[in-house]
Structure 1
Amino acid sequence: MKIVVASDHGGYALKLKVAAHLKERGIEVEDLGTHSEESVDYPVYGKACGEAVVSGRGDLGMVFCGTGIGISIAANKVHGVRCALVTSVETAHLAKEHNNANVLAMGGRTTDPELAVRMTDEWLDTVFAGETESGQRHARRVAMLNEM
Protein backbone atom coordinates (compact mmCIF):
# COMPACT_ATOMS: atom_id res chain seq x y z
CA MET A 1 0.00 0.00 0.00
CA LYS A 2 1.11 3.54 -0.74
CA ILE A 3 -0.31 6.63 0.93
CA VAL A 4 0.34 10.13 -0.38
CA VAL A 5 0.43 12.89 2.21
CA ALA A 6 0.31 16.65 1.81
CA SER A 7 -0.04 19.67 4.05
CA ASP A 8 0.26 23.38 4.31
CA HIS A 9 2.40 25.01 7.00
CA GLY A 10 -0.32 24.64 9.66
CA GLY A 11 -0.47 20.87 9.21
CA TYR A 12 3.23 20.28 8.56
CA ALA A 13 4.22 18.96 12.00
CA LEU A 14 1.21 16.64 12.27
CA LYS A 15 1.85 15.33 8.75
CA LEU A 16 5.40 14.38 9.76
CA LYS A 17 4.15 12.57 12.87
CA VAL A 18 1.50 10.60 10.95
CA ALA A 19 3.85 9.83 8.04
CA ALA A 20 6.42 8.40 10.45
CA HIS A 21 3.72 6.20 11.98
CA LEU A 22 2.62 4.99 8.54
CA LYS A 23 6.20 4.01 7.75
CA GLU A 24 6.41 2.14 11.07
CA ARG A 25 3.36 0.16 9.89
CA GLY A 26 5.29 -0.77 6.74
CA ILE A 27 3.30 1.53 4.47
CA GLU A 28 5.04 3.37 1.65
CA VAL A 29 4.58 7.13 2.01
CA GLU A 30 5.04 9.83 -0.61
CA ASP A 31 5.16 13.37 0.77
CA LEU A 32 3.84 15.91 -1.73
CA GLY A 33 4.80 18.88 0.44
CA THR A 34 4.99 21.35 1.91
CA HIS A 35 8.37 20.69 3.44
CA SER A 36 8.56 23.42 6.08
CA GLU A 37 6.45 25.65 8.29
CA GLU A 38 6.83 28.58 5.89
CA SER A 39 3.42 29.93 4.87
CA VAL A 40 1.93 28.33 1.74
CA ASP A 41 -1.53 27.99 0.19
CA TYR A 42 -3.43 24.87 1.28
CA PRO A 43 -5.49 24.51 -1.96
CA VAL A 44 -2.31 23.64 -3.88
CA TYR A 45 -1.56 20.71 -1.57
CA GLY A 46 -5.13 19.46 -1.20
CA LYS A 47 -5.48 19.34 -4.98
CA ALA A 48 -2.11 17.61 -5.44
CA CYS A 49 -3.01 14.88 -2.98
CA GLY A 50 -6.47 14.37 -4.48
CA GLU A 51 -5.07 14.12 -7.99
CA ALA A 52 -2.42 11.63 -6.84
CA VAL A 53 -5.08 9.36 -5.33
CA VAL A 54 -7.46 9.56 -8.28
CA SER A 55 -4.64 8.89 -10.77
CA GLY A 56 -3.54 5.81 -8.85
CA ARG A 57 -0.18 7.27 -7.83
CA GLY A 58 -1.26 6.50 -4.27
CA ASP A 59 -3.82 4.06 -2.92
CA LEU A 60 -5.03 6.54 -0.31
CA GLY A 61 -4.25 10.08 0.73
CA MET A 62 -3.99 12.15 3.86
CA VAL A 63 -4.08 15.95 4.04
CA PHE A 64 -3.33 18.34 6.89
CA CYS A 65 -3.78 22.08 7.41
CA GLY A 66 -4.40 24.18 10.52
CA THR A 67 -7.95 22.92 11.04
CA GLY A 68 -8.24 20.35 8.25
CA ILE A 69 -11.23 22.24 6.87
CA GLY A 70 -9.68 24.19 4.01
CA ILE A 71 -7.48 21.40 2.72
CA SER A 72 -10.38 18.91 2.86
CA ILE A 73 -12.48 21.28 0.75
CA ALA A 74 -9.62 21.59 -1.73
CA ALA A 75 -9.13 17.81 -1.96
CA ASN A 76 -12.86 17.28 -2.47
CA LYS A 77 -12.79 19.55 -5.52
CA VAL A 78 -10.95 16.74 -7.36
CA HIS A 79 -13.47 14.43 -9.05
CA GLY A 80 -13.28 10.98 -7.48
CA VAL A 81 -12.01 12.12 -4.10
CA ARG A 82 -14.02 11.35 -0.99
CA CYS A 83 -12.11 13.31 1.64
CA ALA A 84 -13.35 13.19 5.22
CA LEU A 85 -12.26 15.59 7.94
CA VAL A 86 -12.05 13.51 11.11
CA THR A 87 -11.99 14.60 14.73
CA SER A 88 -12.37 11.32 16.62
CA VAL A 89 -11.68 7.62 16.29
CA GLU A 90 -15.41 7.13 15.67
CA THR A 91 -15.50 9.59 12.75
CA ALA A 92 -12.40 7.95 11.26
CA HIS A 93 -14.11 4.56 11.51
CA LEU A 94 -17.32 5.80 9.92
CA ALA A 95 -15.45 7.68 7.20
CA LYS A 96 -14.20 4.32 5.94
CA GLU A 97 -17.09 2.06 6.91
CA HIS A 98 -19.90 4.19 5.47
CA ASN A 99 -18.23 6.56 3.00
CA ASN A 100 -15.15 4.63 1.86
CA ALA A 101 -13.14 7.83 2.27
CA ASN A 102 -10.05 7.64 0.07
CA VAL A 103 -8.51 10.76 1.60
CA LEU A 104 -8.45 11.67 5.28
CA ALA A 105 -8.04 15.22 6.58
CA MET A 106 -6.88 16.41 10.00
CA GLY A 107 -6.09 19.73 11.61
CA GLY A 108 -2.55 20.30 12.77
CA ARG A 109 -3.59 23.00 15.21
CA THR A 110 -6.69 21.19 16.46
CA THR A 111 -5.68 17.52 16.67
CA ASP A 112 -3.57 15.89 19.36
CA PRO A 113 -0.79 13.91 17.61
CA GLU A 114 -1.55 10.69 19.50
CA LEU A 115 -5.22 10.97 18.58
CA ALA A 116 -4.15 11.51 14.96
CA VAL A 117 -2.24 8.22 15.04
CA ARG A 118 -5.23 6.37 16.54
CA MET A 119 -7.60 7.88 13.95
CA THR A 120 -5.21 6.90 11.16
CA ASP A 121 -5.04 3.31 12.38
CA GLU A 122 -8.81 3.09 12.73
CA TRP A 123 -9.33 4.39 9.19
CA LEU A 124 -6.79 1.99 7.74
CA ASP A 125 -8.05 -1.03 9.69
CA THR A 126 -11.75 -0.52 8.99
CA VAL A 127 -13.44 -2.32 6.10
CA PHE A 128 -15.87 -0.47 3.84
CA ALA A 129 -19.35 -1.82 4.63
CA GLY A 130 -20.30 -1.62 0.95
CA GLU A 131 -18.17 -4.69 0.37
CA THR A 132 -20.53 -6.75 2.53
CA GLU A 133 -23.96 -8.08 1.60
CA SER A 134 -25.64 -6.12 4.38
CA GLY A 135 -23.90 -2.87 3.41
CA GLN A 136 -25.11 -2.45 -0.13
CA ARG A 137 -26.82 0.83 0.77
CA HIS A 138 -23.37 2.26 1.50
CA ALA A 139 -22.04 1.09 -1.87
CA ARG A 140 -25.03 2.70 -3.57
CA ARG A 141 -24.44 5.99 -1.78
CA VAL A 142 -20.72 6.03 -2.55
CA ALA A 143 -21.56 5.36 -6.21
CA MET A 144 -23.87 8.38 -6.09
CA LEU A 145 -21.04 10.50 -4.69
CA ASN A 146 -18.68 9.28 -7.40
CA GLU A 147 -21.11 10.36 -10.10
CA MET A 148 -21.42 13.91 -8.80
Structure 2
Amino acid sequence: MKIGIANDHRGYKLKLKIIEMLEKKGFIVEDEGTDSEESVDYPDYGKLVAEKVSKGEYDRGIVICGSGIGMSIIANKFSGVRAALCYNPVIAKMTRKHNNANVLVLAADYIGEEELEKTLKNFFNTEFDGGRHKRRIEKINKIEKEIKK
Protein backbone atom coordinates (compact mmCIF):
# COMPACT_ATOMS: atom_id res chain seq x y z
CA MET A 1 0.00 0.00 0.00
CA LYS A 2 1.34 3.42 -0.95
CA ILE A 3 0.83 6.08 1.70
CA GLY A 4 1.37 9.82 1.40
CA ILE A 5 2.21 11.67 4.59
CA ALA A 6 2.36 15.41 5.20
CA ASN A 7 2.91 17.59 8.22
CA ASP A 8 3.43 21.12 9.33
CA HIS A 9 6.10 22.15 11.83
CA ARG A 10 4.12 20.89 14.83
CA GLY A 11 3.72 17.47 13.25
CA TYR A 12 7.34 17.03 12.21
CA LYS A 13 8.52 14.75 15.04
CA LEU A 14 5.37 12.64 14.93
CA LYS A 15 5.74 12.18 11.18
CA LEU A 16 9.22 10.74 11.63
CA LYS A 17 7.89 8.16 14.12
CA ILE A 18 5.02 7.24 11.82
CA ILE A 19 7.22 6.78 8.77
CA GLU A 20 9.49 4.45 10.74
CA MET A 21 6.52 2.44 12.06
CA LEU A 22 4.86 2.09 8.65
CA GLU A 23 8.01 1.21 6.75
CA LYS A 24 8.73 -1.57 9.27
CA LYS A 25 5.27 -2.95 8.39
CA GLY A 26 6.11 -2.92 4.67
CA PHE A 27 4.20 0.19 3.59
CA ILE A 28 5.60 2.46 0.91
CA VAL A 29 5.59 5.94 2.44
CA GLU A 30 6.04 9.15 0.45
CA ASP A 31 6.98 12.16 2.59
CA GLU A 32 5.28 15.37 1.45
CA GLY A 33 5.74 17.26 4.71
CA THR A 34 8.07 19.93 5.95
CA ASP A 35 11.45 18.71 7.12
CA SER A 36 11.88 20.80 10.27
CA GLU A 37 10.12 22.44 13.19
CA GLU A 38 10.41 25.87 11.58
CA SER A 39 6.95 27.44 11.26
CA VAL A 40 5.13 26.77 7.98
CA ASP A 41 1.52 26.97 6.76
CA TYR A 42 -0.28 23.61 7.02
CA PRO A 43 -2.43 24.08 3.86
CA ASP A 44 0.70 24.09 1.70
CA TYR A 45 1.50 20.56 2.87
CA GLY A 46 -1.91 19.03 3.48
CA LYS A 47 -2.95 19.74 -0.10
CA LEU A 48 -0.02 17.74 -1.47
CA VAL A 49 -1.27 14.49 0.06
CA ALA A 50 -5.00 15.16 -0.35
CA GLU A 51 -4.60 15.96 -4.04
CA LYS A 52 -2.71 12.73 -4.69
CA VAL A 53 -5.24 10.65 -2.74
CA SER A 54 -7.96 12.34 -4.79
CA LYS A 55 -6.19 11.39 -8.03
CA GLY A 56 -5.50 7.82 -6.88
CA GLU A 57 -1.73 8.28 -6.71
CA TYR A 58 -1.76 7.28 -3.04
CA ASP A 59 -3.90 4.49 -1.62
CA ARG A 60 -4.29 6.42 1.61
CA GLY A 61 -2.88 9.49 3.28
CA ILE A 62 -1.89 10.82 6.66
CA VAL A 63 -1.80 14.52 7.47
CA ILE A 64 -0.58 15.97 10.76
CA CYS A 65 -0.69 19.35 12.45
CA GLY A 66 -0.89 20.45 16.07
CA SER A 67 -4.66 20.08 16.57
CA GLY A 68 -5.52 18.16 13.41
CA ILE A 69 -8.32 20.59 12.63
CA GLY A 70 -6.54 22.65 9.98
CA MET A 71 -5.34 19.57 8.13
CA SER A 72 -8.87 18.12 8.27
CA ILE A 73 -10.27 21.23 6.65
CA ILE A 74 -7.76 21.37 3.80
CA ALA A 75 -7.80 17.64 3.07
CA ASN A 76 -11.59 17.50 2.79
CA LYS A 77 -11.58 20.16 0.07
CA PHE A 78 -10.45 17.55 -2.46
CA SER A 79 -12.84 15.38 -4.44
CA GLY A 80 -13.11 11.83 -3.17
CA VAL A 81 -11.13 12.52 -0.02
CA ARG A 82 -12.70 11.46 3.24
CA ALA A 83 -10.30 12.76 5.86
CA ALA A 84 -11.03 11.96 9.49
CA LEU A 85 -9.44 13.43 12.58
CA CYS A 86 -8.82 10.39 14.74
CA TYR A 87 -7.93 11.04 18.34
CA ASN A 88 -7.98 7.43 19.48
CA PRO A 89 -7.94 3.87 18.08
CA VAL A 90 -11.71 3.37 18.37
CA ILE A 91 -12.45 6.41 16.20
CA ALA A 92 -9.87 5.24 13.64
CA LYS A 93 -11.59 1.86 13.44
CA MET A 94 -15.08 3.36 13.17
CA THR A 95 -14.15 5.85 10.48
CA ARG A 96 -12.80 3.05 8.31
CA LYS A 97 -15.81 0.77 8.97
CA HIS A 98 -18.51 3.41 8.49
CA ASN A 99 -16.96 6.25 6.47
CA ASN A 100 -14.34 4.44 4.39
CA ALA A 101 -11.97 7.27 5.31
CA ASN A 102 -8.91 7.41 3.11
CA VAL A 103 -6.95 10.12 4.92
CA LEU A 104 -6.03 9.84 8.58
CA VAL A 105 -5.68 13.19 10.31
CA LEU A 106 -3.65 13.30 13.50
CA ALA A 107 -3.24 15.95 16.18
CA ALA A 108 0.46 15.94 17.05
CA ASP A 109 -0.15 17.82 20.29
CA TYR A 110 -2.75 15.37 21.57
CA ILE A 111 -1.80 11.79 20.74
CA GLY A 112 0.51 9.60 22.79
CA GLU A 113 2.85 6.88 21.57
CA GLU A 114 0.64 3.96 22.66
CA GLU A 115 -2.50 5.47 21.16
CA LEU A 116 -0.60 6.28 17.98
CA GLU A 117 0.40 2.68 17.30
CA LYS A 118 -3.13 1.38 17.90
CA THR A 119 -4.67 4.20 15.85
CA LEU A 120 -2.42 3.44 12.88
CA LYS A 121 -3.11 -0.28 13.19
CA ASN A 122 -6.86 0.25 13.22
CA PHE A 123 -6.81 2.73 10.35
CA PHE A 124 -4.78 0.47 8.08
CA ASN A 125 -6.20 -2.92 9.10
CA THR A 126 -9.92 -2.17 9.27
CA GLU A 127 -12.06 -2.79 6.21
CA PHE A 128 -15.07 -0.74 5.14
CA ASP A 129 -18.36 -2.38 6.18
CA GLY A 130 -20.27 -1.36 3.06
CA GLY A 131 -24.03 -1.95 3.25
CA ARG A 132 -25.94 1.06 4.55
CA HIS A 133 -22.63 2.87 4.94
CA LYS A 134 -21.89 2.47 1.22
CA ARG A 135 -25.20 4.15 0.44
CA ARG A 136 -24.20 7.08 2.63
CA ILE A 137 -20.79 7.42 0.96
CA GLU A 138 -22.54 7.42 -2.43
CA LYS A 139 -24.75 10.27 -1.20
CA ILE A 140 -21.67 12.22 -0.13
CA ASN A 141 -20.14 11.65 -3.58
CA LYS A 142 -23.34 12.84 -5.27
CA ILE A 143 -23.45 16.00 -3.18
CA GLU A 144 -19.79 16.62 -3.94
CA LYS A 145 -20.52 16.42 -7.69
CA GLU A 146 -23.53 18.73 -7.37
CA ILE A 147 -21.47 21.34 -5.56
CA LYS A 148 -18.83 21.31 -8.31
CA LYS A 149 -21.36 22.11 -11.03
The question of a shared fold, defined as TM-score above 0.5 by the shorter chain, is answered with: yes
Q: Note the 1:49-128 alignment, pairs <5 A.
A: 49-128=49-128
Aligned with 1:58: secondary structure?
A: coil
**Which is worse superposed, 114-123 or 61-70?**
114-123
What residue number does 1:6 align with?
A: 6
Q: Take 1:140 and 1:46, find their aligned partners in 2: how far apart are those partners? A: 28
Report if the CA contact (8 A) 1:85-1:104 is conserved. Answer: yes
Of structures 1 and 2, the one with the larger relative CO (CA 8 A, separation 6+) is 1
Report if the CA contact (8 A) 1:49-1:62 is conserved. Answer: yes
What are the Cα deviations for residues 100-131 of structure 1, in whole angstroms up to 9, with x where unaligned?
0000000111111331121011111111001x
Q: TM-score, normalised by structure 2?
A: 0.93
Q: CA deviation at 1:146?
A: 2.0
What residue number does 2:26 align with?
A: 26
Q: Take 1:45 and 1:92, find their aligned partners in 2: how far apart are those partners? A: 22
Q: TM-score, normalised by structure 1?
A: 0.93
Aligned with 2:127: secondary structure?
A: coil
Report if the CA contact (8 A) 1:34-1:45 is conserved. Answer: yes
What residue number does 2:132 align with?
A: 137
Q: Which runs of 5+ in 2 are unaligned?
A: 145-149
Q: CA deviation at 1:46?
A: 1.4
Q: Take 2:22 and 2:120, find their aligned partners in 1: how far apart are those partners? A: 8
Q: Take 1:61 and 1:139, find their aligned partners in 2: how far apart are those partners? A: 20
Percent of pairs with identical residues: 48
What residue number does 1:40 align with?
A: 40
RMSD: 0.9
What are the Cα deviations for residues 18-51 of structure 1, in whole angstroms up to 9, with x where unaligned?
1111101000000001111111101111111100
Count of residues in correspondence between the two structures: 143
Q: CA deviation at 1:144?
A: 1.4
Structure 1 runs of 4+ aligned residues shifted over 6 Å read none
